[in-house]
Chain A
């Protein structure tokens, strides 16, 4: 049950990131073509694509965590005996949950605060793009809770398409 939900959660999150990247690219590219090819440009494109980038950054952070892409210095941990390393990483995990928890709370307050203002080009409430931070923080916490054991053991997943290096071995041979 939980495993099924986990798979669904990851898949939905991936799809969201991929589509946002795609829309971001299409907006900027069409705007370039329009401006230089046909002398027309869609003014809000820059703003919307920038917001999409911020959404990708925060909503993708949990997936990056699962893949072990958040660079850290493991030197100290590696020198600890294994039976001390796991408790330390558990403690760090709780600290990270606390950090993103506070961030989500502050972010919600910022979104509420920004609801009465409008963005410059698109004129939507500023609170909407601001939601990237609290939503991203909550999704990050979900990913960390769901994979907390893997986090303690530094076991990372390969959740995007298969790594290029695995294909690379074949071409090298």
Chain B
């Protein structure tokens, strides 16, 4: 059974079958050929895998970000970021970093950042004179901040798949690592700007100008705070908070900034629906795959195998980090997450890790996988949108990945980076 499951899955992935269908097809083949279970379990697991009210936070976060973009708030954020840090050396690079941090508060996904603001930042940097591969690489690398700073689609799905952590706790755990990522990437940008003699300062805005662009960007910047406040105060579940975020985005777009037309509401919902479908199809198909993994007792086998190698928790964390990193390199982030959680879960109990710390390390690790070649979905998006050769992009992104790995090492080595903020708000999981 495991031969069919893994055989079909990896061959399917290799020859270019969509990741979701590779998982569904291998699961279906394993069930039907094995014959121990009725074929009916296949649609049943596909259905039950996404029959979850908490999961609905995902379409709502996608929707809120789409409405914000359609309302022109992305441009307001960009203007504000430019006014704030554009006048520093390597200015647009820093704008790129800051913009991704601000946009991360609106959107929960790195791909959304790469395809939206990432593409704008890249073309702005190129017009200013930065060379194309570096501009693309920086836009790709900064997009990984998206799933770390709340809200985060990856984290919602993590918390649904693993009862050891909550969405609220995980969101808070991402705040400090997200800021660290931003600082690390800004640091690399500073270094590159000095090394290559990039200056490109934009004009320093007047205080009044800065205040004005802050005011225009404020509605978008408030969004993550509304979501977090609702969850932390115990008023909303994450799904309800996400629905409130959608309502907030609609009100802002229609009545406050006026950037959203009534006629574009349905198209925005259609767009968000199609994006939702692609994400949830992966979650759905992965559920049959990960169910079969547990039937085959692969998580337990792996846990005892690792326990056989070492009993030191620190070494286990390092082994896990390497395993996750390798997975992130070859598989897409979301399916990797869903497959890995049940596999790695037993380790948390066995070695007594802090579940929030462990989850944060895994999510950050996989987020870095978004930009690591050979399979970096964000790199693909940037290379298509920006028409930069994938190979050039892969080379230019290396120092940035190195900086991100340093942040990952810090997050793994110092648990308080991820656990202090949630603890402060009373979240232990």
Q: A146 an interface residue at 8 Å Cβ cutoff?
A: no
Q: B144 an interface residue at 8 Å Cβ cutoff?
A: no
Interface string of B72-87 (1 = CB under 8 A from A): 0011001000000000
Q: Which of chain B's residues have a CB closer than 8 A to the CB of A18?
A: 266-267, 269-270, 273
Give the distance to chain A from B90, nearest Cβ to Cβ, in Å.
Answer: 18
Determine, out of B42-50, B174-182, B187-195, B309-317, the stretch whose residues face the partner at the interface. Answer: B42-50
Q: B16 an interface residue at 8 Å Cβ cutoff?
A: yes
Q: B51 an interface residue at 8 Å Cβ cutoff?
A: yes
A18 CA to B274 CA in the complex, in Å?
9
Q: Does A168 lie within 8 Å of B116, measured CB to CB?
A: yes
A169 CA to B60 CA in the complex, in Å?
27
**A31 and chain B: residue at smallest CB distance:** B240
Q: B15 an interface residue at 8 Å Cβ cutoff?
A: yes
Determine, out of B206-214, B278-286, B406-414, the stretch whose residues face the partner at the interface. Answer: B278-286
Q: Which of chain B's residues have a CB closer than 8 A to the CB of A160?
A: 267, 270-271, 274
Q: Which of chain A's residues have a CB closer than 8 A to the CB of B47?
A: 54, 110, 129-130, 132-133
Q: Does B280 lie within 8 Å of A57, measured CB to CB?
A: yes
Partner among A31, A63, A110 whose Cβ is within 8 Å of the Cβ of B274: A63
Q: Does A17 lie within 8 Å of B244, measured CB to CB?
A: no
Q: Which of chain A's residues have a CB closer than 8 A to the CB of B172?
A: none
**A23 and chain B: residue at smallest CB distance:** B269
Given the interface pairs A18-B270, A110-B40, A165-B116, the reply to whether A77 lies near B15 with Cβ below 8 Å is: yes
A57 CA to B273 CA in the complex, in Å?
8
Q: B120 an interface residue at 8 Å Cβ cutoff?
A: yes
Q: Does A64 lie within 8 Å of B269, measured CB to CB?
A: no
Q: Does A21 lie within 8 Å of B63, measured CB to CB?
A: yes
Give the distance to chain B from A54, nearest Cβ to Cβ, in Å.
Answer: 6
CB contact list, B46-77 vs A, under 8 A: 46-47, 50-53, 55-56, 59-60, 63, 69-70, 74-75
Determine, out of B21-29, B359-367, B419-427, the stretch whose residues face the partner at the interface. Answer: B21-29
Q: Which of chain A's residues have a CB closer than 8 A to the CB of B246?
A: 25, 29
A67 CA to B377 CA in the complex, in Å?
16
**B79 and chain A: residue at smallest CB distance:** A171
Q: A124 an interface residue at 8 Å Cβ cutoff?
A: no
A53 CA to B375 CA in the complex, in Å?
29
Interface SS of chain A: helix
A80 CA to B39 CA in the complex, in Å?
36
Of the listed residues B44, B60, B243, the one surrounded by the most CB atoms of chain A closer than 10 A to its CB is B243
Q: Which of chain B's residues have a CB closer than 8 A to the CB of A31?
A: 240
Q: Does B274 lie within 8 Å of A96, measured CB to CB?
A: no
Q: Does A25 lie within 8 Å of B281, measured CB to CB?
A: no
Q: B161 an interface residue at 8 Å Cβ cutoff?
A: no
Given the interface pairs A29-B244, A99-B25, A160-B271, the reply to whether A21 lies near B278 with Cβ below 8 Å is: no
Of the listed residues B40, B63, B240, B273, the one surrounded by the most CB atoms of chain A closer than 10 A to its CB is B273
**B332 and chain A: residue at smallest CB distance:** A71
Q: Does B247 lie within 8 Å of A21, measured CB to CB?
A: no
Q: A106 an interface residue at 8 Å Cβ cutoff?
A: yes
How many residues of A are in contact with the other chain, CB < 8 A? 68
Given the interface pairs A72-B18, A73-B375, A103-B28, the reply to whether A57 lies near B52 with Cβ below 8 Å is: no
A18 CA to B13 CA in the complex, in Å?
31
Q: Which of chain A's residues have a CB closer than 8 A to the CB of B39?
A: 106, 109
A14 CA to B280 CA in the complex, in Å?
17
Partner among A28, A54, A63 whose Cβ is within 8 Å of the Cβ of B50: A54
**B237 and chain A: residue at smallest CB distance:** A32
Partner among A59, A63, A103, A165 whose Cβ is within 8 Å of the Cβ of B24: A103
**A105 and chain B: residue at smallest CB distance:** B39
Q: Does B116 lie within 8 Å of A164, measured CB to CB?
A: yes
Q: Which of chain A's residues have a CB closer than 8 A to the CB of B21?
A: 70, 96, 99
Partner among B59, B264, B274, B377 whose Cβ is within 8 Å of the Cβ of A24: B59
Q: Which of chain B's residues have a CB closer than 8 A to the CB of A102?
A: 28, 32
Q: Which of chain B's residues have a CB closer than 8 A to the CB of A63?
A: 274, 277
Q: Which of chain B's residues have a CB closer than 8 A to the CB of A173?
A: 127
Q: Does B16 lie within 8 Å of A77, measured CB to CB?
A: yes
Partner among A28, A64, A73, A172 whose Cβ is within 8 Å of the Cβ of B16: A73
Q: B272 an interface residue at 8 Å Cβ cutoff?
A: yes
A50 CA to B25 CA in the complex, in Å?
25
Q: Does A106 lie within 8 Å of B40, measured CB to CB?
A: yes
20 A-B contact pairs sorted by A residue (CB < 8 Å): A15-B270, A19-B266, A28-B240, A53-B55, A54-B50, A56-B276, A57-B50, A64-B274, A70-B18, A70-B19, A70-B278, A88-B15, A95-B25, A99-B21, A99-B25, A110-B47, A130-B47, A163-B115, A169-B120, A172-B124
Extra pairs beyond A69-B274, A71-B18 (9, CB < 8 Å): A18-B266, A19-B266, A72-B19, A73-B13, A75-B375, A88-B15, A164-B69, A165-B116, A172-B123
Binding site for B on A (CB under 8 A): 14-15, 17-22, 24-25, 28-29, 31-32, 36, 46, 49-51, 53-54, 56-61, 63-64, 67, 69-77, 88-89, 92, 95-96, 99, 102-103, 106-107, 109-110, 113, 129-130, 132-134, 159-161, 163-165, 168-169, 171-173
Binding site for A on B (CB under 8 A): 13-21, 24-25, 28, 32, 39-40, 42-44, 46-47, 50-53, 55-56, 59-60, 63, 69-70, 74-75, 78, 115-116, 119-120, 123-124, 127, 235-236, 239-240, 243-244, 246-247, 264, 266-278, 280-282, 284, 332, 374-375, 377, 385
